[in-house]
Structure 1
Amino acid sequence: MKIADLQILRMAASHAAATNWTFVKIYTDTGLYGIGEASAQYKDEALMAELQAFKRFLIGKDPFQIEHIWTSLHRRVTWTGGPVTMSAISAIDLALWDIKGKALGVPVYELLGGKVRETVPLYANGWFAGADSPEEYARQAAKTVAQGYRCVKLYPFRGAQVITPERLELGVARVAAVREAVGPHCEIGVDIRGRLNIWSARRVAQKLEPYDIAWLEEPILFDNVDAMAALAHSVRVPVATGEQLYTRWEFRSLLEKNAVGIIQPDICHAGGMSELKKIATAAETYYVTVAPHNSNGPISTVASLHLDINIPNGFMQELFINHLDRYNEVLDRPLQIVDGACIVPDGPGWGVDLREEVIRRYPPLDFTPVESEPYRDFF
């Protein structure tokens, strides 16, 4: 069996923001194909060019040689790493795992070593559309928990990196209202999205202690591990980061410094299934929990679930519940969610396929860097 072609499929994620989903289909000379997903949000043109360049390398290669292909694309490419190259490698890697599972007639999670749990618990993101006041957050959080989810994440702190007393008070009030609405047994994640500096993040962390949050995500920017570790060691709430880190080498220093208790690698950014399995294993040696980041499309979600059901240090899987309808429209089998946990598809490969007629129904959207992006208040 040899790789014969690579095709790129794109569609709009939603009309709320100019975000697109990018899928890769790798075909073999036997007619068998595998599906991957890339995600370099708002860098679509560069990502597609990288995929087309890598296609020339892939043609004629054995799709079962996943490790060789991954290492070749990562180590032998000049100017390797970064969001564009790593997202392209991730998509290719995911498609190759799908091919191998299909060819051998087993789910990808079996290729990884099998299940360590029967279902994957989810944490809900995207449930708070339009909410601003603490009361609005509380009402929508209560509705989300009533659907069976046992963990919700929100972004209660907005604005520039130096926080003001007014913004601090409003953000804490939003978290307090959500805690009151969901009760003591629902987990709460608070995502700062890298907005704050250390002084501001410490003030936020101190104010959030009474609300027993499960994690404080990216309280500062991700790119200074020493600063992240210093912050995490100085506060009493758990700190999480990792969605903008790539490969085991970038996670290594984070783990060596015992900087955080939860890491959040993204299967479409950090190197695909091959690399996330290695990152999770490395994290286990430092007793660190893994909760894969996932703001992407349906193949990213399904692939992450195959990882989650295999790794013993997995926590929960992020799911944007406002994307569920479109996920289930484009997938040939809907996601099965019961009591806030997902049943991982058990067919060969990912166990699901894409409906290309649905992809064509939602053409990709145009965007303008910075102006089309949702996070503009970091200054």
Structure 2
Amino acid sequence: MNITDVQTLSCDAGWRNYYFVKIATDAGITGWAEFDEGFGSPGVTAVIHKLGEMLIGRPVPGPEHFYAEAYSRTRPAAGGVVAEGIGALENALMDVRAKSLGVPCYELLGGKVRDTLRVYWSHCPAWRINHPKYFGPGVTDLDGVKAMGAEARERGFTALKSNTFIFDEGPAYAWRPGFAAPFYPELNADRRIIRNLRDCLEALRDGAGDDMDILIDLNFNFKTEGYLKILRAIADQDIFWVEIDSYSPDALAYIRNHSPHPISSCETLFGGREFLPYFQKSAIDVAIVDVVWNGAWQSMKIANLADIHEVNVAPHNFYGHLCTMMNAHFACSVPNFRVMETDIDRLAWDSELFTHVPQYRDGHLVVPDRPGWGTEPIEEAIKAHPPKPGGGLIRPRQSR
């Protein structure tokens, strides 16, 4: 079975675009993967096209062969968008190979350890604050936050994750200086930000009740001093984990050693080499692995490395439905799984874009047993929603 073509497609996803890679073969089997350019990664499409050229006309390679060759050809600039391009192609090749064998992708990853995956409702209430045009009803104040906590409980979810917002200047808005929204590069945590964060956590708890696990994602929005100030300020809160992005394993280890709450991190890292220092320095309680960026095969190696260091893993998953399925096959195959991120607020046309959508039951995602990833993009639907310029984190924002 030889590869005959490698294509990329994209479509409108509201405040961003969805991106897909399609690998065609002379056996009539097509492999799909979803990737992303909006999370600070412009240029992944160009990398996929360039690396895809080395696949056309050749037999479908196994994941070890493909990664070894692709990494060797890009070694001087390993990581970043190059690694994301390799990961996207690796995932699409896995879909091809699994379909050719008539098995789900998890069989190629060693088989299932579990049939369902506990999930947390991510961006609750972030999507309804940041993008009310696409995810309604909009949330503008703390009463809306409380209502979302109650909604998550009523819909059977047992965990949710929120972010940092400002509520005391009129309609609520997100505080994301780590992503230049607003452009506040000093990344300080002042009293007003901490007060608003506490107010948000208390509103969520009031709505969700005592049995809900609440996670908070601080992203890259502060520096070590600021993270420590926040952790001290919310020490009395019942928090499942505090998610912190840091490119310094030493700084994160220092934060963790002074934190009353578990620390999760690493969603923006590539490969075992980048994860290893965080494990060696005991910098994290949970390692967040982006299967979309790293590729499922390399993600399994990262999970194995985490397991050796007595650390559990959680997928980074805030993309489209195909990404959710890809992450599900990874998460069901690793013994050291903690919990899976998923977005419950969806676009009005999300379900039109895929042959199958994720199924949730009692706060858990049911792992599909269909061949490959268990869903495919529908090309006609993708073309019916053409992509828009910009999108994601790259789109300029006005400062408040």
Aligned equivalent of 2:282, options 228, 246, 258: 258
Partner SS for 2:10: strand
User: For 1:375 and 1:121, how far apart are their aligned partners in 2?
Assistant: 37
State the one-letter code of the partner of 2:243. Answer: E
Q: How many residues align?
A: 371
Give the stretch that moved more between structures: 45-54 or 271-280: 45-54
Aligned counterparts of 2:370 and 2:108: Cα–Cα separation in 1:
13
TM-score normalised over the length of structure 1: 0.92
The 2-side partners of 1:374 and 1:333 are apart by 34
- In structure 2, the partner of 1:333 is 356
Cross-structure match for 1:288: 311
Q: Which residue of 1 aligns with 2:135?
A: none
Alignment check: 8 A CA contact 2:279 2:306 kept: yes
**Cα distance per residue 1:114-146 (max 9 Å; x no partner):** 221120111112331123533221111211221
CA contact (8 A) 1:47 1:87 kept: yes
CA-CA distance at 1:308 after TM superposition: 0.9
Identical-residue share of aligned pairs (%): 28
Q: Is 1:8 aligned to residue 32 of structure 2?
A: no
Q: Secondary structure at the match of 1:209?
A: coil
Q: Which runs of 5+ in 2 are unaligned?
A: 130-138, 166-174, 178-183
Alignment partner of 1:180 out of 206, 224, 240: 206
Distance 1:43 1:187, change over 3 A: closer
Q: Give, in angstroms, the shift of residue 213 of structure 1.
A: 0.6
Equivalent residue in structure 2 for 1:83, among 80, 85, 100: 80
Alpha carbons 1:306, 1:344 under 8 Å: kept: yes
Change (3 A) 1:376 1:196: farther
Q: Is the 8 A contact 1:134 1:175 kept in 2?
A: no
For the pair 1:232 / 2:256, whether they are aligned, the reply is yes
**Alpha-carbon spacing, 1:345–1:369, altered in 2? closer, same or farther (3 Å):** closer
- Asked if 2 retains the 8 angstrom alpha-carbon contact of 1:291 and 1:316, the reply is yes
Matched, 1:204 2:237: no
1:91: Cα distance to partner? 0.9
1:66 aligns with 2:63: yes
Distance 1:311 1:42, change over 3 A: closer
Distance 1:312 1:325, change over 3 A: farther
From 287, 312, 321, the counterpart of 1:298: 321
Mapped partners of 1:106, 1:42: distance in 2: 31
User: Equivalences for 1:124-143 in 2 at 5 Å?
Assistant: 124-128=121-125, 129-130=128-129, 131-143=139-151
8 A contact 2:146–2:207 mirrored in 1 = yes
Q: What is the alpha-carbon root mean square deviation over aligned residues?
A: 2.0
Counterpart of 2:250, as a letter, is D
Shift of 1:258: 0.8
Instruction: State the alpha-carbon separation in 1 of the partners of residues 379 and 320 from structure 2.
Output: 14
Separation (CA, whole Å) in 2 of partners of 1:170 and 1:70 = 45
Letter in 1 for 2:116: T
Counterpart of 1:213 in structure 2: which amino acid?
A: I
- SS for the counterpart of 1:362 is coil
Q: What is the CA-CA distance between 1:350 and the residue it aligns to?
A: 1.0
CA contact (8 A) 2:324 2:342 kept: yes
Alignment of 1:37-76 (within 5 A): 37-41=34-38, 46-76=43-73
